[in-house]
Amino acid sequence: SSELTQDPAVSVALGQTVRITCQGDSLRTYSASWYQQKPGQAPVLVIYGENNRPSGVPGRFSGSNSGNTASLTITGAQAEDEADYYCKSRDSSGDPWVFGGGTKLTVL
């Protein structure tokens, strides 16, 4: 079955830039979407279609894709960005949709 691999945990100093990555073969064909989840809350879409932000998502969030790797970048991380981040992609083998394992972002 296909997989999307994320680093379990990443930290960033307040105001600095952090990149969260997601690797998987399906990303060579399909764009990733990214979701932010804070404790006790439902996930919230932050990036879709490789680098599109829904209304209401701050401009410091951006996305990119290269080969089998999708990235979520937060430029000037804020305390409120501390959360779990999940990538998701369509897939043509195994289940048609798959999530990465999630990355816990700590803002120091």
Partner 1 sequence: QVQLVQSGAEVKKPGASVKISCKASGYSFTSNWMHWVRQAPGQGLEWMGVINPTGTKTVYAQRFQGRVVMTRDVSTTTDYMELSSLIPDDTAVYFCARDHSRGNSWWFDPWGQGTLVFVSS
Give the Cα separation of 95 and 85 in Å (integer).
Answer: 21
Residue ranges in 43-82 that form contacts with partner 1 under rule CB under 8 A: 43-45, 48-50, 54
CB of 18 to partner 1, least distance (A): 19
Distance, first Cα to last Cα, the chain:
36
- Asked if 24 touches partner 1 (CB under 8 A), the answer is no
Choose between 29 and 66: whose C-beta lies nearer to partner 1.
Answer: 29
| Exposure string for 89-104, b = 16+ CB within 10 A, e = fewer | bbbeeeeeebbbebbb
Structure-token pair, residue 93:
């083998």
By beta-carbon proximity to partner 1, the closer residue of 64 and 76 is 64
**Residues at the contact surface with partner 1, assessed by CB under 8 A:** 1, 29-31, 33, 35, 37, 42-45, 48-50, 54, 86, 88-90, 94-102
